[in-house]
Structure 1
């Protein structure tokens, strides 16, 4: 009996810390990812890319390193995910260890978790498969890298034309921060293309019009598959479930070496003491880990004008007020979100009312309108999608009824001509009867 109790206590002692880890997971009230798994080819990356990892740890992230082919690694246990985000810095891995594969990584993203994927010219078929699942297609030519003979970095490695000084950034403060990135970003790796028809994938850092993708060790016999501004160097994906992905064609751009390099773009006199890599990658990591651009909506309210309580149904032609509070996560707390493009629909099969919401600059959005003269089951719908921000999808169902028989006006103003016509006809009939009966 004592041995059973002792064994139970040991199991409980093991289970309690494990359950505590599972309970400290991604929360809508605290959306910043805190537990990050980093998969590497070699633990040397831990020191060669230490500046990037230290920037994450300084912001409170728990970073755990594992070899990509470690047979014990797993993303989930007993149906619960052990990590909030995944960083893959193992471009040449042919097969992940443990229970991880391309399908498991996409399930991880489908569950609302975030991903950073860095590749290079040695990218394996497995890494390319994960990228394709995310909507990004790396150049398939063996040994191909991005080459640019006009926008290379003259101050890095004696002007190697495969080291690009890229400064074609996406124009989005929510993704790259409000502070301008002055210095070009050093990039050495492979390019990729994105599906132009997709509104989920965005090019964050593009190559210059003179760039092309080819193997620098062989002659260029055929036109390159990817060239010019169509070559994306770094792209981001925001899935429909608001999971975020960053895909880079260069692992070296995350390295301490590229962080510390001075850079001068070919053809320009300005020499920067430090590349823009650290600022660029820090800002984009804030976005992918939901420290910026994450919205939530609370306190959705609607009621009749002059009332406070929410009714269980409206009557046609009622005047109503609608309001919602929207906040943005700053990485530490929720702050009021201010915009002028939030709209609400009063919807039944199609929108009968579409109103742009006013704001008090403190996170409260509101409007008022008249219920349409149509009865049925309506919805208040807010479908908000803006570049770089998590999407909001709010709906609240409410029935609308017609007037009851005793709610109509006794005399309708618009019907006065018909009332007059009826009484004039009765008067005429009475006069005709009198005249007919008493006239000789």
Structure 2
């Protein structure tokens, strides 16, 4: 009887679990935050409170918690992971490097913040995500030109940067006016990797070195090649943010005023809060999250979807695309969505028209080639989740009784045949009756 009650209770929870992890509710999600020290909950409370205020369930745990686990009974317990534990050498419980990578490979999101105490574990996670931190563990980013004016800052490691990526979908439509304060380590991205993007770059005068020792060799990382904050849009639509500054999220820098050296403009508040908040909105799919529904096709003048097309048929194709606004699904409007009519290679490539209400449509003629085709919509745009849809449909040739009885292009052949017949008839008459 007890086992039966437990089973009934477990079954009754299934709809709740399905709802929590449903992609139809991008903000109805759980976030796990792993910390080196629980004091970070208060020192970085502004950032965490902004996440909670947007409807996320945030769970704080120490990175070495012996009960730490990301999944149970094959189901992931969290939808996003925040690693604010740069110095951790080994996670607690069942979590390890492979576990974090599997979490991302399953389509979940990750925010990783490091500093000069970054362990090999944190560096390896970043490397697997396409980002390489400076190998010198004592090196941090220094800028003797673009540093923040401060009474206590003498080594110019608290730098100022306003070199943001030009993307409204990643950083929001409201421009970050004040520069961002940054204190941490440098990292680089592979220019050949199109999945990794620099969101915040250092100035041309920055370099990575140990501030307490003299340079004996040129620094390995210098100038605008230094990335301060990078993001990854994975092919499975998982999103990752990696930065070398844990302090960038702290209340101290979020509330601090900022003035760049040599600049008369002084801001009462840095751009850190707006920057990290907008960036977290993108990482957690509150912006730039697309879905495509109702892929339809039919012959012109009909409404039902056929099981097969005939060559040279006129057809109409449509699909609906929506974007998550943070609260509801809104029509996505763009002029670069295309459909392919594909068999080994695209025979037809058409740009879809939109009614500005989420519906994309076009019409075209089936090519004069029979076989098994696919309607394919492959949509990749900076900052947006990728769309990949396909629907298979066979195309047949004309049946023997569907061809035209007399083809206009064959009239010369028809004329030649009847001319030959008439000539033979005349020759026969002349041959038979001529003495």
TM-score of the superposed pair, with normalisation by structure 2: 0.97
- 1:425 CA drift (Å): 1.7
Provide Cα deviations, 1:48-86, integer angstroms capped at 9, x if missing partner: 000000101111111111010010111011111111111
Name the counterpart of 2:384.
389
- 1:22 CA drift (Å): 3.6
SS at match of 1:52: helix
Asked if 2 retains the 8 angstrom alpha-carbon contact of 1:156 and 1:262, the reply is: no
Asked if 2 retains the 8 angstrom alpha-carbon contact of 1:376 and 1:401, the reply is: yes
Pairs within 5 Å for 1:302-381: 302-381=297-376
| 2:293 is the alignment partner of 1:294 | no
Q: State the alpha-carbon separation in 2 of the partners of residues 420 and 267 from structure 1.
A: 92
- 1:267 CA drift (Å): 2.5
- 1:331 CA drift (Å): 1.1
Asked if 2 retains the 8 angstrom alpha-carbon contact of 1:341 and 1:357, the reply is: yes
Q: State the alpha-carbon separation in 2 of the partners of residues 177 and 69 from structure 1.
A: 35
Name the counterpart of 1:250.
245
Gaps of 5+ in 1: none
Name the counterpart of 1:411.
406
* Number of aligned residue pairs: 435
Asked if 2 retains the 8 angstrom alpha-carbon contact of 1:212 and 1:226, the reply is: yes
Provide Cα deviations, 1:177-202, integer angstroms capped at 9, x if missing partner: 00010000000001111111111111
- 1:432 CA drift (Å): 2.1
Name the counterpart of 2:113.
118
Name the counterpart of 1:56.
51
Query: Against the structure 1 CA distance between its residues 121 and 421, is the aligned structure 2 distance closer, same or farther, given a 3 Å change threshold?
Result: same
Q: State the alpha-carbon separation in 1 of the partners of residues 356 and 13 from structure 2.
A: 43
Name the counterpart of 1:32.
27
Provide Cα deviations, 1:196-250, integer angstroms capped at 9, x if missing partner: 1111111100111111111111111111111111110000011111011100110
SS at match of 1:394: strand
Asked if 2 retains the 8 angstrom alpha-carbon contact of 1:153 and 1:160, the reply is: no
SS at match of 1:42: coil
Pairs within 5 Å for 1:197-212: 197-212=192-207
Query: Against the structure 1 CA distance between its residues 155 and 180, is the aligned structure 2 distance closer, same or farther, given a 3 Å change threshold?
Result: farther
SS at match of 1:63: strand
Name the counterpart of 2:434.
439
- 1:159 CA drift (Å): 5.8
Q: Which of residues 78, 81, 94 in structure 2 aligns to 1:83?
A: 78
- 1:32 CA drift (Å): 2.8
Gaps of 5+ in 2: none
Stretch moving more, 382-391 or 215-224: 215-224
Q: State the alpha-carbon separation in 1 of the partners of residues 13 and 59 from structure 2.
A: 16
Q: Which of residues 238, 242, 245 in structure 1 aligns to 2:233?
A: 238
Query: Against the structure 1 CA distance between its residues 130 and 307, is the aligned structure 2 distance closer, same or farther, given a 3 Å change threshold?
Result: same
Asked if 2 retains the 8 angstrom alpha-carbon contact of 1:174 and 1:292, the reply is: yes
SS at match of 1:427: helix
Provide Cα deviations, 1:307-338, integer angstroms capped at 9, x if missing partner: 00000000000000000000001111100000
Asked if 2 retains the 8 angstrom alpha-carbon contact of 1:70 and 1:96, the reply is: yes
Q: State the alpha-carbon separation in 1 of the partners of residues 14 and 298 from structure 2.
A: 43
Query: Against the structure 1 CA distance between its residues 290 and 424, is the aligned structure 2 distance closer, same or farther, given a 3 Å change threshold?
Result: same
- 1:175 CA drift (Å): 0.3
Provide Cα deviations, 1:284-323, integer angstroms capped at 9, x if missing partner: 0000000000100001000000000000000000000000
SS at match of 2:58: strand
SS at match of 1:297: strand
Name the counterpart of 2:64.
69
Asked if 2 retains the 8 angstrom alpha-carbon contact of 1:379 and 1:397, the reply is: yes
Query: Against the structure 1 CA distance between its residues 156 and 322, is the aligned structure 2 distance closer, same or farther, given a 3 Å change threshold?
Result: farther
Q: State the alpha-carbon separation in 1 of the partners of residues 374 and 27 from structure 2.
A: 32
- 1:155 CA drift (Å): 4.2
Q: Which of residues 178, 181, 184 in structure 2 aligns to 1:189?
A: 184
